[in-house]
Amino acid sequence: MMSAVRLRELSKTFHTGFWRTRVHRALDAVSLDVPRGAVLGYLGPNGAGKTTTLRLLMQLVHPTSGGAEILGRPVGDVGVRRRVGFLPEAVRFHDTCTAEEFLEYVGGLFGYPAAERRRRAARGLDRVGIGAERRRRLRTYSRGMLQRVGIAQALLNDPEVVFLDEPMTGLDPLGRREVRDLVLALRKEGRTVFFSSHILNDAEAVCSHVAILHRGRLAAAGRVGELDLRVRSWELVAAGPGESVQEVCGAPGRRVTRIADGRYALELPVEPAPESLVAELAQRGVRIISLHPRRETLEDFFLRRVAEAAAAAIADDEAECA
């Protein structure tokens, strides 16, 4: 299957300082494939290079080296531009116009006739939950409402690929939930969504794929269900004589909780492996109902990979200075 978005050794270096002599490598040889129909959470701490990546994909800046494709064509291809939507991190509008007028203006840039512009503007504002406010001046909108207008703008042309830079910014819990539901709806429609975020709970709720960026380098990438999530503990549910369960499982590091009807829930450490304990319980007449690993959450995985990437970066810096 052709990738919706493809990055190949994409790099961007900025020269900073008064004399522009300091070199800042914002993106360092990032290669990534995003399948069609995927929802990619592009994750990383502030300053990791997420916004730089999106600006490169939108050709707001040009790469120092490497390249990228969208829908099999180079970024910037005129035909591709009509098939993508983009929400920038910092949303700025002409605040003297209404939300309806702004979206109709955007529709005009796509060449839609007047009736179609009005239809798409109304549909877009209804979709993000502010249709009733469409005739208010944008200067009277809250930050969260402006963010919703930006999302409606990104979806106005029914894009095949949607790029959202921190789409949850400024939204209250209800607004974040609505945006998550909207992303899930786009996923069901078969659209590709590439969104950056540092809010791990939101990413975990909607993403099919994730990529983790740290100091401009890709620290990890893959399907959410195929990530190397470490086992943190084991959860065992057993039924049988309480004395036997307590006697066998009463060691330090093990927690035993009585559920009901002679059943017990046990939380076991990763080491030692639970097989010997299961065998001993069975010998004492205890029936094993279930045994499941408790794995890292996406947040745990993110923090671990960022820490590993930071340690590797420090080692590289020390090696260069040696």
Residue-by-residue DSSP string for 235-284: EEEEES-HHHHHHHH-STT-EEEE-STTEEEEEEESSS-THHHHHHHHHT
| Whether domain 231-295 has CATH 3.30.70.3100 | yes
pLDDT for the residue 93? 87
Instruction: Kindly report, residue by residue over 248-286, the tens digit of the pLDDT.
Output: 666 655 677 776 777 888 888 888 788 888 888 888 888
Query: What's the pLDDT at 227?
Result: 86
Three-state DSSP class for residue 69: strand
Whether the per-residue pLDDT at 244 is higher than 80: the answer is no
Q: Looking at the chain, which residues constitute the CATH 3.40.50.300 domain(s)?
A: 3-226
Higher pLDDT residue, 157 or 172?
Answer: 157
| Domain 3-226 of CATH type 3.40.50.300 | yes
pLDDT of res. 250: 63
| Location of each CATH 3.30.70.3100 domain in the chain | 231-295
- Across the chain, mean pLDDT equals 88
Q: What's the pLDDT score for residue 283?
A: 85
Strand 161-165 relative to strand 192-197, pairing: parallel
- Give the model confidence (pLDDT) of 51-71 as tens digits: 999 999 999 999 999 999 999
Task: Look at residue 43 and tell me whether its pLDDT is greater than 80.
Answer: yes
Give phi and psi for 214, each to the nearest 5: -145, 125
Q: Which helix (H) or strand (E) holds 126?
A: helix 114-127
